[in-house]
Amino acid sequence: MGLTFPSPIGLAGGFDKNAMRPRALAALGFGHLELGTVTALPQNANPRPNLFRCPEDHALINRLGFPNDGAARVAARLLRARPKLGTPVGLSIGKSRAVPVSDLDAVIADYVAAFDAVRSVADFVVINISSPNTAGLRSMQSQEHARSLLGALTQRPGRRPPLLVKIAPDLDDAELEALLEVVEQTRLDGVVATNTTTSRPTHLATSSQRIASIGSGGLSGPPLRARALSIVRRVRARLGRDAVVVGVGGIETPNDAIAYVRAGANLVQMYTGFIYQGPLAASRIARGFADALEREQVRSVSELVSTE
């Protein structure tokens, strides 16, 4: 994307929704930050309780629903912090809850407004159409809707930072291939794979009673890892060498990060692992990753990235 990353270990979207602490997060060793998700209209979180720990699985379930101060306000806050940041910063944009998903034109206009508010301050922009916590949002991953939305954003006149789309792990093979065809057609720069999952794997250590009591929301952490790795492989195989692929889901160790890179990711991101592994997790994983490269006498991350 024409950017230099201090390490491949980044912070996933959803942790710092309002760009309140980018300097502190960068200082903890993240090689990039994805802030947000922000929406064109300010909005509150979904009703509490909306965030749950499943410690037995090192997992989280959330149904927060894009709480944020609004794209324009967050962009202004990031602009003030930018001179003191030494790492690339992206902003994730999503649909405002007040905009009905049934009105495609209104949805596109809403995303465009958010994009216009953030594009001058972001090194890259992530189009979030895969959160399970905004009603109907995942329908924007359908080929027809995605083509209209992504096309409108890529064709927007003026400065266009690199654009990535964040996809769900719950797409079936046909849905994924159809969406990746749109990514190719609209010449997006790449894909963030993946968002949280609405599925509840049978191998969870957390009791079924506890899972049932939590209810709806997106599951993140190690239970998501196998599926997210599979999606990364398919995305890389379909989009080829030049696309940017960011792998997300269950990264807790250097070996997890390396597995994503070997599967085809250029960069990786963590959120749940940051919660469970502590504030120095990114630095620790980055050091372990660098040590592994040295042992294998690999000069750059790109030499590990699968392009098959």
Active site residues: 131
Task: DSSP letter for 224, please.
Answer: G
Place of tokens 């809403």: 110
Assigned token pair, 65: 């629903």
SS3 (DSSP) at 51:
strand
Distances from the Cα of 112 to the Cα of 32, 167, 233, angstroms: 24, 19, 30
Report how far residue 275's alpha carbon sits from residue 122's, in angstroms, rounded to the nearest whole number.
25
Cα–Cα nearest to 168, from 147, 188, 142: 142
- 157 within 8 A of 112, measured Cβ to Cβ: no
Positions of E strands within 68-114: 89-93
Cα–Cα nearest to 236, from 196, 172, 193, 195: 193
Q: What angle do CA 270, 273, 278 make, to 5 degrees?
A: 115
Task: DSSP letter for 266, please.
Answer: S
Amino acid at residue number 19: A
